[in-house]
Chain A
Amino acid sequence: AQSVTQLDSQVPVFEEAPVELRCNYSSSVSVYLFWYVQYPNQGLQLLLKYLSGSTLVESINGFEAEFNKSQTSFHLRKPSVHISDTAEYFCAVRRTGGAQKLVFGQGTRLTINP
């Protein structure tokens, strides 16, 4: 079975400051890794994913995440946040073969202060 731990339930930062949202996972088999974002009163949207290849993956709005197999981590970073980044962020894993089941972390609420 897989599990995901997001170490921070809430992260407040000032606008234009850097941010890191931490994610660690546990799995006995190889996995795909995802970050989803949930804006207020909306469903989840895929932000970025790691399937294979380069361990550093980027989104179109400036977020990036790095897959670290030895530390079983997939932390999300952005060098300069904007008010519009205020949302809840979920880290998720899925085993690479067969089953499509996503296992989510508890979520991190990112609050951007002006």
Chain B
Amino acid sequence: DAGVIQSPRHEVTEMGQEVTLRCKPISGHNSLFWYRQTMMRGLELLIYFNNNVPIDDSGMPEDRFSAKMPNASFSTLKIQPSEPRDSAVYFCASSLPLAGNYNEQFFGPGTRLTVL
């Protein structure tokens, strides 16, 4: 299995531009998570989906951020307009359907975003 795939791995953009991060979960996984990692705030959950439906988006910082999961094999995280404080590493993770109340989350390699 290829694992969770994220693209691009690195993104450098200018303030005000739209940024789209992409994630392909592991085949058969029905839960997908978007995390953000910064020096100041550490690793925090932004949003997660079960069966393509957003379950908890309380971590999405503001209206500039949006996430979609149009099908079981693809998700996007969009920032419009981007700001320098959005610079971070964004991780996507996926897991199998809940069994016994727990399933391991498998993380992708992350996208390092720099907003100038």
Interface residues of B in 69-116 (CB under 8 A from A): 91, 93, 95, 98, 101-105, 107-110
In the bound complex, what is the Cα–Cα distance between A36 and B37 (angstroms)?
14
**In-complex Cβ contact of B42 among A43, A97, A105 (8 A):** A105
In the bound complex, what is the Cα–Cα distance between A107 and B42 (angstroms)?
7
**In-complex Cβ contact of A100 among B4, B48, B91 (8 A):** B48
Say yes or no: is B45 at the interface (Cβ < 8 Å to chain A). yes
Interface size class of A (residues with CB under 8 A): 20 to 34
**B105 surroundings in chain A (CB, below 8 A):** 46, 100, 102
Q: Are B43 and A32 interface neighbours, CB within 8 A?
A: no
Interface centre among A99, A100, A106 (most CB of B within 10 A): A100
User: Beyond A97-B101, A100-B98: 20 further Cβ-contacts under 8 Å?
Assistant: A36-B107, A41-B109, A43-B4, A43-B108, A43-B109, A43-B110, A44-B93, A45-B107, A90-B43, A96-B101, A99-B56, A100-B31, A100-B33, A100-B48, A100-B55, A101-B45, A101-B48, A101-B56, A106-B42, A107-B42
**Using a CB–CB distance below 8 Å, which chain B residues touch chain A?**
4, 31, 33, 42-45, 48, 50, 55-56, 91, 93, 95, 98, 101-105, 107-110
